[in-house]
């Protein structure tokens, strides 16, 4: 796709809004994955483009850079997360305690999305809010994650005849909603499709571009994307 120029869609790229190193598989974010692969319980929760690790075993943190917080109360944890969110000098926060207990403190928002593949090595992307993203959205009452993913991809891109190939790793991120801190869990699915002749960005959802990107193009697009999307593509072998 020789005519693809991600920078043509990127206006006013602000490096303070993303960590350049997350585009590098050797960054601290991705190195942390290999460190924690053997651990039975761990959550990686993104906050903007920084990362909170919820872990049980503090011994594996020896020599790791970042803030460390031993969980003992909800109020102290929330204050630590708020401080971490504002601190531009620190990329990682390690919260030590029972990950399932900690995650249960937050209201969980369920969402789902799709990594749609096309013959060759192309993946379907959307461009929204000035960043490259994958189609996704919140679950509606009575839906399963896979049903949500298929509905959202169809609505946001116009691609039809979607079928689930396999489940991918979920991603988590945290933000404040009506004054409360919530955790959004996004379930991801690799998909095939039957018809992409009526591709149409869902403008009501502020999507301005729907585009197939090759693996050669993806690293360029990821210079202006989200850490959670980079994480998903890396764990799925596309970066």
State how far the Cα of 108 lies from the Cα of 181, in Å rounded to an integer: 9
212 alpha carbon, distance to own chain's centre: 19
- In this predicted structure, the answer to whether residue 64 has a pLDDT above a threshold of 80 is yes
**Average pLDDT over every residue of 93-108:** 94
The 10s digit of each residue's pLDDT in 1-60 is 444 444 333 333 232 232 223 333 333 343 444 444 434 468 999 998 899 999 998 888
State how far the Cα of 132 lies from the Cα of 64, in Å rounded to an integer: 30
**Average pLDDT over every residue of 56-66:** 85
Q: What is the CA radius of gyration of the chain?
A: 18
Domains recognised in the chain with CATH numbers: 22-103 (no CATH), 110-235 (3.90.79.10)
The whole model's pTM is what?
0.82
Q: Give the orientation angle of helix 227-235 with respect to helix 28-36, to 10 degrees.
A: 50
Q: Which positions ≥6 away from 73 have C-beta within 8 Å?
A: none
pLDDT of residue 212: 97
- In this predicted structure, the answer to whether residue 153 has a pLDDT above a threshold of 60 is yes
Which string of DSSP letters, residue by residue, matches 60-102?
A: GGTT--SEEEE---HHHHHHHHHHHHH-TT--EEEEES-HHHH
pLDDT of residue 26: 34
State how far the Cα of 199 lies from the Cα of 205, in Å rounded to an integer: 15
pLDDT of residue 41: 63
Residue recorded with tokens 């994958």:
134
Q: Tell me the pLDDT of the chain averaged across its residues.
A: 85
- In this predicted structure, the answer to whether residue 134 has a pLDDT above a threshold of 70 is yes
Position 62 confidence tier, pLDDT thresholds 50, 70, 90: confident
The 10s digit of each residue's pLDDT in 154-198 is 999 999 999 999 999 999 999 999 989 999 999 999 999 999 999
CB-CB contact of 121 with 214 (8 Å): yes
- In this predicted structure, the answer to whether residue 104 has a pLDDT above a threshold of 80 is yes
Helices then strands (H, E): number in the chain?
Answer: 6, 11
**Average pLDDT over every residue of 108-126:** 95
121 alpha carbon, distance to own chain's centre: 21
Which string of DSSP letters, residue by residue, matches 114-181?
A: EEEEETTTEEEEEEETTEEE--EEEPPTT--HHHHHHHHHHHHH--BS-EEEEEEEEEEEEEEETTEE
**Average pLDDT over every residue of 64-93:** 94
CB-CB contact of 84 with 52 (8 Å): yes
Q: Which positions ≥6 away from 129 have C-beta within 8 Å?
A: 206
């Amino acid at each position: 796709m020789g005519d693809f120029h991600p920078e043509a869609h990127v206006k006013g790229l602000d490096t303070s809004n993303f960590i350049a190193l997350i585009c590098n598989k050797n960054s601290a974010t991705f190195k942390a994955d290999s460190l924690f692969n053997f651990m039975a319980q761990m959550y990686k929760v993104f906050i903007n483009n920084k990362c909170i690790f919820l872990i049980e075993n503090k011994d594996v943190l020896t020599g790791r850079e970042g803030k460390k917080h031993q969980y003992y109360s909800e109020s102290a944890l929330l204050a630590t997360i708020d401080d971490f969110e504002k601190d531009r000098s620190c990329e990682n926060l390690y919260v030590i305690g029972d990950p399932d207990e900690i995650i249960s403190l937050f209201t969980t928002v369920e969402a789902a999305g799709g990594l749609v593949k096309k013959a060759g090595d192309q993946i379907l992307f959307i461009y929204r809010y000035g960043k490259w993203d994958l189609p996704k959205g919140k679950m509606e009452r009575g839906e399963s994650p896979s049903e949500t993913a298929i509905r959202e991809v169809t609505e946001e891109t116009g691609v039809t005849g979607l079928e689930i190939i396999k489940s991918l790793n979920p991603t988590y991120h945290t933000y404040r909603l009506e004054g409360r801190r919530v955790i959004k869990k996004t379930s991801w699915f690799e998909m095939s499709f039957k018809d992409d002749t009526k591709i149409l960005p869902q403008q009501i959802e502020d999507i301005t571009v729907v585009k197939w990107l090759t693996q050669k193009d993806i690293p360029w697009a990821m210079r202006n994307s989200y850490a959670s999307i980079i994480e998903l593509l890396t764990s799925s072998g596309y970066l």
